[in-house]
Amino acid sequence: MSNTFGNKLKITTFGSSHGDAIGGVIDGFPQGIEVDFEEICRELQRRKTGNFAFSSQRKESDEVTFLSGIDEGMTNGFPIAFFIKNNNYRSRDYTDIKDVFRPSHADFAYFKKYGTDDFTGGYRASGRETTSWVVAGNLAKQALAKHGIGFVSYVSQIGQECETAHYTDLNLSFTPHNALPTPNPQTADRMLKAISQAQADNDSLGGVVTCIVTGVPYGVGNPVFDKLSSRLAAAMLSIPSSKGFDYGKGFDASSMRGSEHNDLFVNDHGKLRPATNRSGGIQGGISNGEDIYFRVAFKPVSSIGKPQQTVDIHGNNRTIAIGGRHDVCIVPRVLPVVESLAALVILDLML
């Protein structure tokens, strides 16, 4: 099982949704970075359950305990070890379905690969795992902020409700003030209605997150097999429920002509740069100094209350209606996870 992410900057995580704790060890983190612990708490708050009526109502404090790597608020260059206690898991919610293959979950694949026959909490496939990623990723964001690199993301689609405007035409500062974290309040209201209807139907919805990274200098990333674009794609597709990644014009470029998609170069007051940014800030797998922007698509949450047909580990036919505390739509909570992984990738490539 692979539990380590990164090359020069590595994070190894441990724990599971219904274990005593989750946490990680970050190796290779730069020395001399002053840590804002309150900022880490704010990022974890964005990811936490219970922020929305349609999200899981599991109540976790997500209080981080750092064991090493930080002295008097400053990183010392040694491994940063931390853990977060799990205080509010309810394993009893899984008693009746502990040996049943839940549709579209990791249960069947884990059973075939590892022989696991009790799927309580989803083990390492649980979204709870991403809490540790946010801790490590926020530390990376704080290190990158020293270089003028910033991250912002928003929900650009829920179900069939989309924000069609390009991010450059939106006021992204409105995002945290709307009913859902998306810049346009009208779009947020439509998305919220769609989620409410899915909740009433004992069903779920997926969606898309758009992320923008500003201030990345020229030259981050490498040719061929260590491209910034491929590293970002690998990171984003590691998030539970992620199903797709594109950057710049992405899949839309497949329907364009070269003359429509090409970014022409200009001399902008002595600075050579692309006149447009359809490439999404990455060309040849290397950053070109423009905004990096990308999208990540997420499937509907697999745990739904609507009855479904499946089988158990013995091959018996079973009908399953999943109760307990589950998100109707995970997309609004995944924004800090997307930003965190992007920060870890970029800092790793810049070291």
Q: Measure the CA dihedral 225/226/231/237, to 10°.
A: 20
pTM above 0.85, yes or no: yes
CB 137: neighbour CB atoms within 10 A? Answer: 27
For position 111, what pLDDT does the model report? 87
pLDDT mean over 102-115: 87
**Cα–Cα nearest to 201, from 306, 289, 47, 100:** 306
Q: What is the pLDDT of residue 117?
A: 66
| Domains of the chain from N-terminus onward | 4-350 (3.60.150.10)
Q: In the predicted model, what is the mean pLDDT of residues 84-92?
A: 71
Q: How confident is the model over 295-346, as pLDDT tens digits?
A: 999 999 998 889 999 999 999 999 988 876 678 999 999 999 999 999 999 9
| Cα gap 181→332, rounded to integer Å | 6
Task: With H, G, I as helix, E, B as strand and everything else as coil, classify residue 16.
Answer: coil
Q: Give the per-residue pLDDT at 322.
A: 81
- At 177-214, the pLDDT tens digits run 999 999 999 999 999 999 999 999 999 999 999 999 99
pLDDT, mean of residues 214-233: 97
Whether the CB-CB separation of 144 and 343 falls below 8 Å is answered with yes
Instruction: List the single range of 38-47, 83-92, 128-137 with lowest mean pLDDT.
Output: 83-92
In the predicted structure, residue 91 carries a pLDDT above the cut 70: no
Task: Tell me the C-alpha distance between 76 and 70, whole Å.
Answer: 6
The radius of gyration computed from the CA coordinates of the chain, to the nearest angstrom, equals: 21
pLDDT of 269 over the 70 cut: yes
Q: Check pLDDT > 60 for residue 92.
A: no
Lowest mean pLDDT among 7-21, 167-181, 187-201, 253-267: 7-21
Mean pLDDT of the chain: 92
Percent of the chain with pLDDT over 70: 93
Q: Report whether pLDDT(118) > 60.
A: yes
Residue-level pLDDT at 122: 59
